[in-house]
Structure 1
Amino acid sequence: MKHVLIKENEAGQRLDKYLHKCLKEAPGSFIYKMLRKKNIVLNGKKASGGEKLEIGDEIRFFLSEETLDKMSGISPLISEECPDKEIAEYEAAYDKYKELEIIYENHHILIVNKPEGILTQKAEAGDLSLNEWFIGYMLYQGEIRREDLHTFKPSVCNRLDRNTSGMVICGKTLPGSQKMSELLKNRDLHKFYRLYVKGKVRKASLIEGYLVKDEKRNTVKISPAPIQDKSSYIKTKYEPLKVFEDKTLLEVELITGKTHQIRAHLASIGHPLLGDYKYGDKSFNDSYKKKYKIKNQLLHAYRLEFPELEGEFAELSKRIFTAGTPRIFHSLEENGQKQQI
């Protein structure tokens, strides 16, 4: 017989979902059969699987060692640790990116300023992304143990393109991850970006449209009208901060959050991002590439505004966080010929 005590990062989820993580090789039918036969019990009682786990709950497994070995794979039930290969990735990522700027941190979340050129999450095996850095950071700080990674892995909550810099929210606990996901899904967490675009933009505006993905080319297109089953509604708000001879520094509020939304939406109205070779103006970009070595879009996730929050997240209520723009933004401003808006 084996038993597991539920901790903070396992609490808040359904029992059957947790069991699927523990018994990775077991089909759902096996798990529900074991619950019906009371070979798996919750707090000493028969359970259906739909119960919501709480801190301190005890799950007992009246199963043979052989069955546990077969059904668990790598699991806390058989006291195995996270594979050394994974741990090595987390440690390598933390060592590589250990100078990253942490904007804010509490028990539940961490906000980090991601430089351009770093993946938020790995695209293929062997990548060292911000997500691996974050788990490495948690291990290094002693806030999570190797064995804890079987049932909960800290993770980033929002994604930025590799060449977009700025603030990424990371969930340190399951409640933190769940709350940030809720805020992002409901659009209660307001996200603002700083960027340079081609041309002079003198008035603030709210633009809407429909975004259509081209998965093969990893691009999107903007349509003024919906395309059945193929498009997503988008809304982008922007305001000019400084106007120069051939470009404008904008602040953009991303009201909806879709793939390449800012880049494609602004390009569709004639103001592509400076440095954006996928959606932008090649000759315009080339002139800045030659002078300033700019190779990618100048897009920075600058500010986060939290809504009113209560309970264990009250510390974040109405808080505003900013991440300073990269040095190239200031170089362009210092060397540009500014005009009145």
Structure 2
Amino acid sequence: MHSCKIERNQAGQRLDKFLRKLLPEAGNSFLYKMLRKKNITLNGKKAEGNEILALNDEVKLFFSEETFAKFSGQPSFSGPPSETGKALPGGRVTSQVREYENAFARLQGITILYEDEDCLIVNKPCGILTQKAVRTDISINEWLAGYLLQKNPAFGEELSTFRPSVCNRLDRNTSGIVLCGKSLPGLQSLSSIIRERRIRKFYRTICVGALKEAVNIQGYLVKNSVENRVTVSGSPSSQAPDEKASPIHTVCSPILVTDAFTLLEVELITGKSHQIRAHLAQIGHPLAGDHKYGKASVNRMLKGKYGLEHHLLHACRVTFPETLRESADNLSGKSICAPCPALFTELEDKLFGR
């Protein structure tokens, strides 16, 4: 028999969702059968699976060790322990823990801008993924788990039913602010304010050409997942090109302008994949160094003269609303800023004579 006491990182979710995390190799039909037969109970009573778990609830699974090991996907470990000896329930050290430790050791240059019990905000360097694209990638998600394990080895005991996660995505070559949920309440709060567009997100970029006045541009975006490319078209008054099109809204304000380049602050009203890059390219001002949506001749010049090999885009500031739910209350009314990377500021100086 296995007993699970519900902690902060498990409370607030449905019992069946919790069970799918605890037993990822078990199918839904098996889980509901075990609930019907009272082989899985909640607080000593029969459960349906749709109950919302509360702090200090107790879930009991009347399984043999072999059955639990089979459906939890945690085979017994016969080799040496990991460097820090972190284990999941049942004393098993998993390959995932080693993956997180490895990511924390390998991903360099990530700086912490803000941290509390539930939330972490970091400044991501260019070249690092926020989330895996393929199974073998390492990303901020794995670094985050490794960071929490390094701070508190006991966190390993929660990894079978909770994974800390990033809440916003940046392209690999976009640097800047990434919001992370350290706990389930923090993850839910940050995801909610992003989804409800209650957080303001600002970026710095250098675009091609002189953009002398602020522009408020709207339209529609369609993503081609196969080519990892988007198409932007239309205006707010036009009809969506097809049912897959998402409305987008971007506000651009020039800071420094020359005949050849403009330093911009961009606010994302919506937040879609490649939105800034494609929207600025649509109006004739692609990002400097952008090989997907940009101007090839300008990109060649910037690479030859300054060594620029990627687009210049930095998530520089987020501003939180005055009132937030309890688990993100410490962020109420705050603005978090991330300094631009060295190459960005170097290009500012050279292109704008600063």
- TM-score bracket, normalised by the shorter chain, equals over 0.9
Displacement of 1:214: 1.9
Normalised to the residue count of structure 2, the TM-score between the two structures is 0.90
1:48-97 CA distances to partner (integer Å, 9 max, x unpaired)? 111111111111123344433443332999715352x3222222221123
Equivalent residue for 1:186? 196
The answer on 1:266 being equivalent to 2:280 is yes
Displacement of 1:20: 1.6
Check conservation: 1:22, 1:77, Cα contact below 8 A. no
Cα distance in 2, alignment partners of residues 99 and 333 from structure 1 = 21
Cα distance in 1, alignment partners of residues 43 and 187 from structure 2 = 26
Equivalent residue for 1:289? 303
Displacement of 1:228: 2.2
Equivalent residue for 1:321? 336
Equivalent residue for 2:345? 330
Equivalent residue for 1:165? 175
1:250-287 CA distances to partner (integer Å, 9 max, x unpaired)? 00011111111100000000000000011011111111
Equivalent residue for 1:87? 97
Query: Aligned-pair RMSD on alpha carbons?
Result: 2.0
Displacement of 1:127: 2.0
Equivalent position amino acid for 2:266 in 1: V
Cα distance in 1, alignment partners of residues 37 and 294 from structure 2 = 62
SS in structure 2 opposite 1:169? strand
Equivalent residue for 2:81? none
Cα distance in 2, alignment partners of residues 336 and 23 from structure 1 = 56
Q: Please point out which of 152, 170, 185 is paired with 1:175.
A: 185
Task: Note closer, same or farther for the CA distance 1:333–1:79 as it changes in structure 2 (3 Å cut).
Answer: same
Equivalent residue for 1:32? 32
Equivalent position amino acid for 2:25 in 1: E
Cα distance in 2, alignment partners of residues 40 and 176 from structure 1 = 28
Equivalent position amino acid for 1:128 in 2: I
Cα distance in 1, alignment partners of residues 43 and 21 from structure 2 = 19
SS in structure 2 opposite 1:7? coil
1:205-263 CA distances to partner (integer Å, 9 max, x unpaired)? 21011111222221111121412223111111111111123100000011111111100
The answer on 1:113 being equivalent to 2:123 is yes
Cα distance in 1, alignment partners of residues 185 and 195 from structure 2 = 15
Q: Please point out which of 212, 217, 220 is paired with 1:207.
A: 217
Check conservation: 1:304, 1:320, Cα contact below 8 A. yes
1:63-78 superposed matches below 5 A: 63-74=63-74
Cα distance in 2, alignment partners of residues 101 and 318 from structure 1 = 22
1:295-336 CA distances to partner (integer Å, 9 max, x unpaired)? 100000000011122433221101000001112232233223
Equivalent position amino acid for 2:218 in 1: E
Displacement of 1:170: 1.1
Equivalent residue for 2:267? 253
- The number of residues matched between the two structures is 338
Equivalent position amino acid for 1:315 in 2: N
Cα distance in 2, alignment partners of residues 219 and 193 from structure 1 = 20
Cα distance in 2, alignment partners of residues 177 and 189 from structure 1 = 15
For structure 1, the residue ranges without an aligned partner over 5 or more in a row are none
Check conservation: 1:244, 1:338, Cα contact below 8 A. no
Displacement of 1:3: 1.1
1:90-135 CA distances to partner (integer Å, 9 max, x unpaired)? 2222112354211001111111100101111222233222221111
Task: Note closer, same or farther for the CA distance 1:230–1:99 as it changes in structure 2 (3 Å cut).
Answer: closer
SS in structure 2 opposite 1:284? helix
What is the percent sequence identity of the aligned residues? Answer: 51
Task: Note closer, same or farther for the CA distance 1:82–1:14 as it changes in structure 2 (3 Å cut).
Answer: farther
Cα distance in 1, alignment partners of residues 126 and 17 from structure 2 = 36
Task: Note closer, same or farther for the CA distance 1:58–1:280 as it changes in structure 2 (3 Å cut).
Answer: same
Displacement of 1:41: 1.4
Check conservation: 1:74, 1:150, Cα contact below 8 A. no
Normalised to the residue count of structure 1, the TM-score between the two structures is 0.93
SS in structure 2 opposite 1:17? helix
1:144-196 CA distances to partner (integer Å, 9 max, x unpaired)? 53231111111111111110000101110011111111111111111100000
SS in structure 2 opposite 1:150? coil
Cα distance in 1, alignment partners of residues 154 and 285 from structure 2 = 45
Task: Note closer, same or farther for the CA distance 1:180–1:281 as it changes in structure 2 (3 Å cut).
Answer: same
Check conservation: 2:210, 2:262, Cα contact below 8 A. yes
Cα distance in 2, alignment partners of residues 200 and 143 from structure 1 = 53
Check conservation: 1:82, 1:150, Cα contact below 8 A. no
Check conservation: 2:189, 2:325, Cα contact below 8 A. no
SS in structure 2 opposite 1:336? helix
Displacement of 1:337: 4.5
